[in-house]
A and B are shown apart, each in its own frame.
Chain A
C-alpha cells in the first residue's frame, strides 16, 4: 500500500503533510494562472486526496492503466484543480501540461475529463453521478473476483442529489464492501451553509440506516485519515464504507477559510503571495527532523 515505504508512521504522516502543503500551494498557483479556480473546495479536500493517492490506494507511479489499481471517482468534479496536480505528480502525464489550465483546448478545466487526462477514471462535473459510477465499478470487481477497491469522493452539498441515495441503496443491496465513499464535509455549498440551504444532517444516521459502515473523522488530520483507510474492513466484506471527513472550506489559507465567496474565484499576485504564506505557516508541525 502506498507509493512509498516509511519506517515509521510519523515519517509517513510527515510525507503526506508535505504533499498536502505542495498541493495547496499548487491549487493557488493554478487558480491564479488559470484566471480562477474552485479553491474553497479544493483546499478542503486536499488532505483526503493526498492520503488516498499517496498512501491508501494501490497505484503504480507512471502507470495510470495498471490493471490491479484501486479506482477513484471524483464525484465532486469541481475539485479537479486539487486532483489533476496529484495525477501529474504520480507521473501519469508531464507536469507542464498543467500550465494550460482553463485555456482553449486544454485537457484541464473546472471538471475532469477521462478522455483527456491520463489517470482520471471517470469524467465528472454534474453532481450526484459519481457514487452510481462507483457502484458499477465495484460490481465489475466483484464479477472479476478482483481485489481492487473503489473510492468515491463526494461533496457534502452534493448529497442533496436524489441519485446519491439511489446509489447508496444499491451499494448495500449488492453488498459492495469494496466501495468506499468519502464526504468532504466542509459545511458550505455554493450559496452558504449546507444546514441553511438544504440540511444533510444527521449524516451518520442516514447512511447507517442505508446499511453503510460509517466513520466520522477530522479530514485534515493525516493520522486519522491514514488509520481510517488502513482499517477498512476486508475487500470481501459486505457493507459499503462511508468516511465523513470533517473539513474546513478554504483550509490552509486564513482569509479563505469558512467563507463561501472563495467557492470559485481568481486571485492576483499579492493575494497569491498572502495565500502561500498562510499555507506554509499553517502546515501541521513537523514530526520528523530532516
Chain B
C-alpha cells in the first residue's frame, strides 16, 4: 500500500503535533481552538462531520461554543449567518461538495449578499475523497464561489498555509471560503518562515523565464518538484503559489506571462471556471496572447480511485506537470 492508501485505511489518528504529520483539517481544528481562547466571539459549526473535519478538538475545549447541526447543511449555513449578524464569528465546516453545490444559494443569499463574517472551511475538496466517487468530489466549487460578489476564495497549498489563512481570517469582517483536502497532503513549504497575505501570491521557485506554472492546493508541491527536476534538465521554470483565487493577484499573473510567454495553471478542480479560468480571464483582459494551458479535471465527472492515482490520471502530479511543461517548451 502507498502512504495515502494507508492513511485512508487507518484513519487520521496522528499524535505528534507537527505540521507535516497533521492534515489540513487537523491543523484547522487546532488553530481554531487556539484562536477561540482569546476571541470569545468565535463559534464552530459542523454538520455531523466533527470526526472528519477535526472540530472535535474545539468541542472538547469549548463545548458551549460548538454546534453540530446534523446532516442538514443549508440550515447550518443560514444559522451561521444569523449568528454572524448578531455578533458572533462563525467558522463552519463540512464537505466542499455539499457546501458549494447544495448550499450555493444559501451561501449567496445569507452570507455573501449581506456580506457577513462567516468563515467557511470546505474540507475533502477536489478529488481528495478519491474512492468516494463523484458525489463526494468537489471539482466545481472554486468556479461557483468565486462568482459570488463579496466572497474571498482561498486554496491553501498545505497545512502551514491553512494555519496562516485561518489566523488571518479571524481578524477580518468579510465572508471567506477556505478549501482544504482530506488526507496528509505533502508539504509545499519547508518552514513557517514566510508571510502569507490573502490576495498576494507566493513565488515558490524562480529558476528563470522559460515558463511559469501557476498552481494552488496540492498542485503547488507537485509544481515545485517538477520545476526542481526540470531545472536539472536545463529548463528554467517559475512556480507561483496562487493560494488566493479571489481576489486574484492579477499583477503577478500578468508579469509572469509577460516575462515567460508560457503559462500553465494546475489545480485540483474542473478546468472550467477555477484557477485556470481566472488566470485565462486575466490574460485575455490584458490582451496577452501567449502559450497557455490549463491543467485540472477535464469536463467530465472524475473517476473513482485513490487521490494520488487520480492526480496522475489528470496530470496534475509532478510527472504530469513535467510532461506538459516540456511539451509546451518543445
Q: Does B172 contact A (CB under 8 A)?
A: no
Interface residues in chain B, defined as those with a beta carbon under 8 Å from any beta carbon in chain A: 43, 64-65, 67, 69-70, 72, 74-75, 77-88, 90, 105-106, 109-110, 113-115
- 4 new A-B contacts, CB < 8 A, other than A137-B85, A139-B43, are A129-B110, A132-B106, A140-B83, A167-B78
* Known A126-B105, A170-B69, A170-B70: A140·B88 in contact at CB below 8 Å: yes
Is residue A166 contacting chain B, with contact meaning CB distance below 8 A?
A: yes
How far, in Å, is A101 (CB) from chain B's closest CB?
Answer: 20
Contacting chain B: which of A23-31, A117-125, A197-205? A117-125
A3 in the interface (beta carbon within 8 A)? no
Residue of B at shortest CB range from A132?
Answer: B78
CB proximity of A78 to chain B, nearest CB, Å: 14
Q: C-beta contact mask, A116-147 vs B, less than 8 Å → 1, else 0? A: 00000111011001001111111111011000
Interface residues of A in 130-174 (CB under 8 A from B): 132-141, 143-144, 163, 166-167, 169-170, 173-174
Alpha-carbon distance A166/B80, docked complex (angstroms): 14
**Judging by beta carbons under 8 Å apart, are A126 and B86 in contact?**
no
Which A residues touch B113, using CB under 8 A? 123
Across the interface, which residues of B come within 8 angstroms of A263, CB to CB? none
CB-based contact A126/B81 at 8 Å: no
What would be 14 A-B contacts, judged by CB atoms less than 8 Å apart?
A: A71-B86, A114-B114, A121-B85, A122-B81, A122-B82, A123-B110, A126-B109, A132-B77, A133-B85, A136-B81, A136-B82, A136-B86, A137-B83, A140-B86
A166-B74 in contact given A123-B109, A126-B105, A136-B81 (Cβ < 8 Å): yes
Partner of A140, one of B72, B77, B87: B87
Any B CB within 8 A of the CB of A115: yes
Whole-angstrom distance between the alpha carbons of A129 and B77 in the complex? 10
For the complex, what is the distance from the CA of A126 to the CA of B109, rounded to whole Å? 8
User: In the complex where A121-B85, A123-B109 touch, is A133 in contact with B72 (Cβ < 8 A)?
Assistant: no
> Are A163 and B74 interface neighbours, CB within 8 A?
yes
Residues of B within 8 A of A125 (CB): 109
How near does chain A come to B60, taking the closest CB pair, in angstroms? 18
Give chain B's interface secondary structure class: helix
Residues of A within 8 A of B105 (CB): 126
Contact: B69 with A122, CB < 8 Å?
A: no
- Complex Cα distance A49/B220, Å? 55
Residue of A nearest to B80 (CB): A136
Chain A residue numbers with a CB within 8 Å of B70 are 169-170, 173
Kindly state the separation between the CA atoms of A71 and B83 in the bound complex, as whole angstroms. 12
The reply to whether B88 and A135 form a contact with Cβ atoms under 8 Å apart is no
Contacts of B79 in A (CB 8 A): 132-133, 135-136, 139, 167, 170
Q: Mark A257-278, 1 if CB is under 8 A from B, else 0.
A: 0000000000000000000000
Chain B residues with CB under 8 A of A144: 87
B73 (CB) vs chain A CBs: closest residue: A166
B72 contacts A166, C-beta separation under 8 Å: yes
A123-B114, A129-B109 known; A170+B80 contact, CB < 8 A: no
Task: Look across to chain B and name the residue whose beta carbon is closest to the beta carbon of A67.
Answer: B87
Chain A residue nearest to B74 in the complex (CB): A163
> Are A133's CB and B69's CB within 8 A?
no
A115 to B174, CA, bound (A): 14
Q: In whole angstroms, how far apart are the Cα atoms of A122 and B80 in the complex?
A: 12
* Nearest Cβ on chain B to A194's Cβ, whole angstroms: 22
The contact of B82 among A126, A134, A143, A173, by CB within 8 Å, is A134
Interchain CB contact under 8 A, B82 and A163: no
Closest Cβ of chain A: how far from B49's Cβ, in Å? 16
Across the A-B interface, the 8 shortest Cβ-Cβ residue pairs: A136-B82, A132-B78, A166-B75, A136-B79, A133-B82, A140-B86, A166-B72, A136-B83
Q: Which residues of A contact B115 (CB under 8 A)?
A: 115
Q: How far is the CA of A286 from the CA of B247 in the complex (A)?
A: 60
Closest to A130 in B: B78
CB distance from B26 to the nearest CB of A (A): 26
On chain A, the residues within 8 Å of B114 by CB distance are 114-115, 122-123
Query: Are B64 and A170 touching (Cβ within 8 A)?
Result: no
Q: Are B75 and A137 in contact (CB under 8 A)?
A: no
- The answer for the CA separation of A212 and B75 in the assembled complex, in Å, is 17
Contact residues in A for B106 (Cβ distance below 8 Å): 129, 132, 163
**Residues of chain A with a CB closer than 8 A to B43's CB:** 139, 143
Say whether B83 contacts A139, CB under 8 Å: yes
Q: A123-B113, A166-B74 are in contact. Are A132 and B82 (CB under 8 A)?
A: yes
| Residue of B whose beta carbon sits closest to that of A77 | B109
Q: Which residue of B lies closest to A136 (CB)?
A: B82
Q: Which residue of B lies closest to A173 (CB)?
A: B70
- Cβ A137 vs Cβ B109 within 8 A: no
Q: Which residues of B contact A141 (CB under 8 A)?
A: 86
B248 to chain A, nearest CB (A): 25
B87 and A133 contact, CB distance less than 8 A: no
Q: Is the CB of A170 within 8 A of B72?
A: yes
Task: Determine the residue in chain A with the shortest Cβ distance to B105.
Answer: A126
How far apart are B91's CB and chain A's nearest CB, in angstroms? Answer: 13
Within 8 A of B (CB), among A79-118: 114-115
Q: How far is the CA of A135 from the CA of B114 in the complex (A)?
A: 17
The interface residues of chain A lying within 8 Å CB-to-CB of B75 are 132, 135, 163, 166-167, 170
A163 to B82, CA, bound (A): 14
